[in-house]
Amino acid sequence: MVLSSGTTGLPKAVQLTHHNVMTVLAIIREDPRYTDLSVPIKSLGLLPFFHVYGFMLTLNTCCNGFPMVVLSHFEPALFLQAIHTYKITMLNLVPALVVFLAKHPLVSQYDLSSLKMILCGAAPLSKDIADQVLKRLPHVQSVRTAYGMSESTLGALSNSFATTKPGSVGRAQKTAWIKVVDIDNVSSNLGPNQVGEICIKGPLVMKGYYKNSEATKQAIDPMGWLHTGDTGYYDEDGFFFVVDRIKDLIKYKGFQVAPAEIEAVLLSHSAIADAAVVGIPDEASGEVPAAFVVLQPGQAVTAEQVGNFVAAKLSSAKHLRGGVFFVDEIPKTGSGKILRRELRKRIGSTKAKL
């Protein structure tokens, strides 16, 4: 059993079968990263092993027989020094750590030239951040994204090293069936470039939640489709793009606003080190977007400047009408996902004091 991320509530115990695990390991073994040994693989173990991402990567290390250097926790200097000292060639990261590589000034103080490949999962990663990493670390050949969850035994969608598209999480794995359904009518399948809920079926789908049959029934329908709770779409070539969590979408005057889109714009600002966006209740509009921002060391911008920066790049529904709040850090789960419920509580506490 592994634990779900618990981004919207308490983590659930996910029951994965031996068949689930072996199915995914068989897929991974065929990945060109592990069959083409022109660049010897040496990875860095940083993700929590109780989460499916860290758990499956550790099994993959044993299965494919390459070394992994394990760190007990993330600390900026320790992380960078480990890459340098042990000549790490491949990193499996969450978006927060890719943002760190793209924007943190400490990165420039270390020789990271051994690094060739970065794979990112657990949450959406913007193309802009990936491009920033490739520009800052020119020896990195690619920053690839994949998509999956604890309930699908890690990856259901992945970019191969032969084909990819910017911003895409790739195509369906060999043993996975993927469809997109209408959020308001799950019996209606959607076509290319139509945003809906991503659903997964196949031998990588979990047995169920431990001692929680009701939650299992809500997640897996009678036809065996796992309803992920994530919105996304696919294009004419079968490449999938993740938009955001359904529960995180901000309902502004009938529009559904994805926090991840606003966050990507915020992270493109040179003075911003990290950011998160949540919806807050508004009597006139339903909900309005509010941003929490972590500034780069030594940088100073005002809330108005941040708001204007977003307004210049996004449509009116995505403007930061809920305000901009400067914080020291963005609360996240052990797997790097933003804890938006904690941020909403902070806004509620602030209003209660007014």
> Which CATH number covers residue 48?
3.40.50.12780
Query: DSSP state, 141?
Result: -
Closest CA relative to residue 68, chosen from 52, 51, 47: 47
Q: Do 163 and 46 share a structural domain?
A: yes
Specify the pLDDT at position 40: 78
Residues 63-79: tens digit of each pLDDT: 888 899 999 888 999 99
Residues 184-242: tens digit of each pLDDT: 999 999 999 999 999 999 999 999 999 999 999 999 999 999 999 999 999 999 999 99
Check pLDDT > 80 for residue 348: no
Q: Which of 152, 175, 198 is the last residue of a domain?
A: 175
With respect to residue 294, please indicate whether it lies within any of the assigned structural domains: yes
Residue 209 pairs with which residues in a beta bridge? 14
With respect to residue 185, please indicate whether it lies within any of the assigned structural domains: no
Q: Which of 175, 199, 228 is the last residue of a domain?
A: 175
State both tokens at 101: 């590589």
User: What's the whole-number mean pLDDT along residues 270-290?
Assistant: 94
Closest CA relative to residue 311, chosen from 343, 256, 265, 352: 265
Residues 84, 107: Cα–Cα separation, whole Å: 11
State both tokens at 306: 């941040």
Q: Are 16 and 206 in contact (CB under 8 A)?
A: yes
Q: Do 20 and 129 share a structural domain?
A: yes
* 80 three-state secondary structure: helix
With respect to residue 165, please indicate whether it lies within any of the assigned structural domains: yes
With respect to residue 259, please indicate whether it lies within any of the assigned structural domains: yes
For residue 205, how far is the Cα from the chain centroid? 19
User: What's the whole-number mean pLDDT along residues 169-193?
Assistant: 93
Query: DSSP state, 170?
Result: B
Specify the pLDDT at position 353: 41
Q: Which of 123, 154, 175 is the last residue of a domain?
A: 175
How many CB atoms neighbour CB 181 within 10 A? 19
